[in-house]
Structure 1
Amino acid sequence: MNEVQYRHAASAAGAPVALSCTGIERVFGGLRALKGVSLDVRQGEILGLVGPNGSGKTTMVNVITGFYPPNAGKVTLFGEDITALKPHRVAARGVARTFQNLALFKGMSVLDNILIGRHTHMKPSALGALFYWWWAEREELAHRRVVEEMIEFMQLQDIRDEPVEVIPLGLQKRVELARALVAEPRLLILDEPMAGMNQEEKEYIARFILDASEARGVTTLIIEHHMDVVTSICDRVVVLSYGEVISEGEPQAAISHPSVVSAYLGERAAKRHQAGSTA
């Protein structure tokens, strides 16, 4: 853990809990996708949620954001029970997310895609439309100022007017992160934000995530398969396997736990790995 990480983790350790998930169960037919999962994310913390494919990570995020109501358990956000809320009501309470597969709007510019992230702050009304030049125009300009600041923060000035589908994948991922951040979330959920990216692109996104956490005080839950990223930016890690928590704690220690190595490599390969590490 580097010095910046250490300071960040130390400050988050004593912070109040932002998100609390207790005993979360989710069943699809005869498949128990989540089996009593409990986890906490503290305010200002970057928590990594990792595990092999099919371990329940995205299902857990979908429960938190209201897409899948849990069959049992409770989700609390800043002290409020949000277990039964619909996705738009969860978003209105300060939760923004990115998706494993890009969810940008083709045919629209980078700027307009980011502007959509302001939708939870927009209050359309017939009265506002009637008196547009006096009322609604001022609100629109205020939203655009926030978007322009985010474009500068994410270093997207050179492509702000480009159609989003023509820019490289790494920049598209950056646009999606900008759209989530422009919502001014209290909790940011990132589902594999670095999938398909090269090393340079991963480093850029990692830096922006850290900057958002440090400069804007954003609490972050991140699903990520790249363990170098997890160990470099996360304060803590929770590891899932077959819908259960099998390890949690400081990143390097959590992912080095024998149960985690076994989940990723298989029991026989894990024993060879352990024998090699102790040789």
Structure 2
Amino acid sequence: MAAAREPVLVCENVSRWFQGVHALKHVSVSIGKGEIFGLVGPNGSGKTTLVNAITGFYPPQEGRILFEGRQISGLKPYRIAESGIARTFQNVALFRGMSVLDNILMGRHIFMRPNPLASLFYWWWAQREEIAHRRKVEEVIDLLQLESVRDEHVDVIPLGLQKRVELARALCAEPRMLVLDEPMAGMNQEEKEYMVRFILDAQEALGLTVLIIEHHMDVVTAICERVLVLNNGSRIAEGPAREAISDPQVVEAYIGKARHAA
């Protein structure tokens, strides 16, 4: 069972505020190795703030975050990426004017070490490194079935494919934990089904732990083993996906209190 798994990510009493807005209020959660864990809640509930705290963009002002037993709260985002956590963004954050292949290659940047000597002796030194990076990229392109658009500019491909390219770029960083911020936002039903399939394929093939923010509850209940529900920066429910989403506090947070007839 997921509850018995070795914890990979642990957030302990994480708080974050922006001037007068208390965006996270003593949130604690533990995510097990190999788990697909959902993070849900109404707009403004603190989901993306928690993800930004985990990935170093807005470190917690109280509490701490541990990844594989090591404290990462306070580290720079690139250090957290190097430690084994990769993410995608709510709004597609691809490099416009560049091809799909070049965008995916950017996921290898954490492994690249600029070296004038390597450039000077390219054929004996840098070429081997470039081939190794390209080999990893080709594996991810094959896994996510992006061969047909590899040379297209990201500006001209559909949103669903853009989201898949962003997923591919994250996978090229060889993470052990993948953080997905609304990967299905703006997609039609067919695109959602494709994305679910590719997330499951990647999780199984690469042995990933996945934290996913998602508003589509059909997706959450289909792929997430457990979920944490936030509202106004606080935890209101946690547990198996269907049970947590059916919690009266969660229903109230999404649709308001039931109106009783006079």
TM-score normalised by the chain length of structure 2: 0.97
Q: How far, CA to CA, are the matches of 1:191 and 1:231 in structure 2? A: 17
Kindly indicate whether residue 104 of structure 2 is the aligned counterpart of residue 103 of structure 1. Answer: no
Other-structure match for 1:210 = 200
2:248 pairs with 244, 253, 258, which one? Answer: 258
The number of aligned residues is 261
Over the matched positions of the two proteins, sequence identity in percent amounts to 65
Q: How many Å apart are 1:257 and its aligned residue?
A: 0.2
Residue number among 222, 226, 230 corresponding to 1:236 in the alignment: 226
What's the CA shift for 1:128?
A: 1.3
Measured in 1, the distance between the counterparts of 2:192 and 2:227 equals 19
| CA–CA separation in structure 2 for the residues paired with 1:161 and 1:16 | 41
What is the CA-CA distance between 1:130 and the residue it aligns to? 1.9
In the alignment, is residue 224 of structure 1 matched against residue 214 of structure 2? yes
Match of 2:141 among 143, 146, 151: 151
Unaligned runs of 5+ in 2: none
Q: Please name the residue that 2:122 is paired with.
A: 132
2:110 aligned counterpart, secondary structure: helix
* CA–CA separation in structure 1 for the residues paired with 2:9 and 2:59: 16
- Match of 1:117, SS state, is helix
Match of 1:37 among 21, 27, 32: 27
Does 2:119 match 1:122?
no
| Alignment correspondent of 2:189 | 199
CA–CA separation in structure 1 for the residues paired with 2:254 and 2:229: 11
1:166 aligns with 2:156: yes
CA distance in 1, matches of 2:55, 2:189: 30
SS at match of 1:267: coil
CA–CA distance in 2 between the matches of 1:242 and 1:235? 24
The C-alpha deviation readout for 1:206-254, integer Å capped at 9, x for no partner, is 0111111112101100000000000000011000000011001100000
CA distance in 1, matches of 2:73, 2:87: 17
Following TM superposition, by how much is the alpha carbon of 1:15 offset from its aligned partner in structure 2, in angstroms?
2.2
The letter of the residue matching 2:157 is I
Per-residue CA deviation, residues 64-98 of structure 1 (Å, 9 max, x unaligned), is 01111211000000000111101111111011000
- 1:68 aligned onto 2:58: yes
Name the CA distance, whole Å, in 2 between partners of 1:40 and 1:268.
32
> Hey, what's the Cα distance between the residues in 2 that align with 1:69 and 1:150?
30
The 3-state SS of whatever aligns with 1:208 is helix
Paired residues of 2:143 and 2:202 also in contact (CA < 8 A): no
What is the CA distance between 1:106 and its match in structure 2? 1.0
> Where does residue 276 of structure 1 map in the other structure?
none
Structure 2 match to 1:176: 166
Equivalent of 2:48, from 37, 55, 58?
A: 58
Cα distance in 1, alignment partners of residues 129 and 4 from structure 2: 38
Give the aligned residue type for 2:133.
Answer: H
Could you tell me how far 1:199 is from its partner in structure 2?
A: 0.5
Q: Which runs of 5+ in 1 are unaligned?
A: 1-9, 273-279
